[in-house]
Amino acid sequence: MTGTTANPLQYLNPYHRPAGALDLNPLIKGLVIVSGTLMTAICLIAISRAALGLSGDLPHLRHFVIMFHVTTVLPCVPLGLYLLLAPKGTAMHKQLGKLWVTLMVVTAISTVFIRPNMELTWIHIFVPLTLRASYLIIAKARRGDIKEHRNEIVGLYLGALMIPGVWAFAIEGRLMNAMLFGWQGY
């Protein structure tokens, strides 16, 4: 007999699970790991610089909606990374997933109130995209369409979280840019 037999004790490991529809292909998994880790690290550096007083004056902090928006979006980066890499289908995955989707929806809605008179710019395209994806994430999971559930989450994480996140750090005058580089342009 040349076949290998499964170790019966492997099923006692809480992290053991067979490959399934929620597994990310290696390219997407690598993209999620790199982008999520880098964005989390950059956020931590920016927050640390601001907390240590190395960012200069931050007038953004006097704007309640900006602070609310940043407070709801910052946990989405590491939490989303964790959810995409951790075991799926567990009670913890489901609860943290609900929290993540809620934070994403609240973050998206809060962006509408940042600019005076609810003025919209191109970046606000992520508001309806986030709301649509959030609905589909829940609907697909409830229907048991786990592959599409995963695809919506990956799209929301890499699209509506990472693209505006890069923008927030790259554009002078934005809060995260000012916190990271100390540039004042607000």
pLDDT digits (tens, 9 = 90+) for 5-51: 555 554 444 454 544 556 788 999 999 999 999 999 999 999 999 99
How high is the pLDDT of residue 24? Answer: 86
Query: Does residue 30 lie within any of the structural domains?
Result: yes
Say how many domains are in the chain: 1
pLDDT digits (tens, 9 = 90+) for 112-161: 999 888 888 888 999 999 999 999 999 999 999 999 999 999 999 999 99
Query: Does residue 20 lie within any of the structural domains?
Result: no
pLDDT digits (tens, 9 = 90+) for 72-114: 999 999 999 999 999 888 999 999 999 999 999 999 999 999 9
Residue by residue, DSSP assigns 7-70 as: PGGGGGSTT-----TTPPPHHHHHHHHHHHHHHHHHHHHHHHHHHTT-S---GGGG-HHHHHHH
In angstroms, rounded to a whole number, what is the distance separating the alpha carbons of residues 59 and 52?
16
Confidence of residue 57 (pLDDT cuts 50, 70, 90): confident
How high is the pLDDT of residue 19? Answer: 47
Q: Is the dihedral of CA 88, 90, 94, 95 positive or negative?
A: negative
Q: Quick one: tokens of 56?
A: 């200069």
Query: Does residue 173 lie within any of the structural domains?
Result: yes
What does pTM read for this prediction?
0.83
In angstroms, rounded to a whole number, what is the distance separating the alpha carbons of residues 107 and 148?
23
Which are the contacts of 49, defined by CB distance < 8 A and separation ≥ 6?
55, 179, 180, 182
128 alpha-carbon distance from chain centroid = 16
48 alpha-carbon distance from chain centroid = 20
When pLDDT is averaged across residues 171-179 and rounded to a whole number, the result is: 90
Query: Does residue 15 lie within any of the structural domains?
Result: no
Query: Does residue 96 lie within any of the structural domains?
Result: yes
How high is the pLDDT of residue 7? Answer: 58
Confidence of residue 60 (pLDDT cuts 50, 70, 90): confident
Give the domain range for residue 113.
Answer: 25-181
How high is the pLDDT of residue 115? Answer: 87
Query: Does residue 42 lie within any of the structural domains?
Result: yes
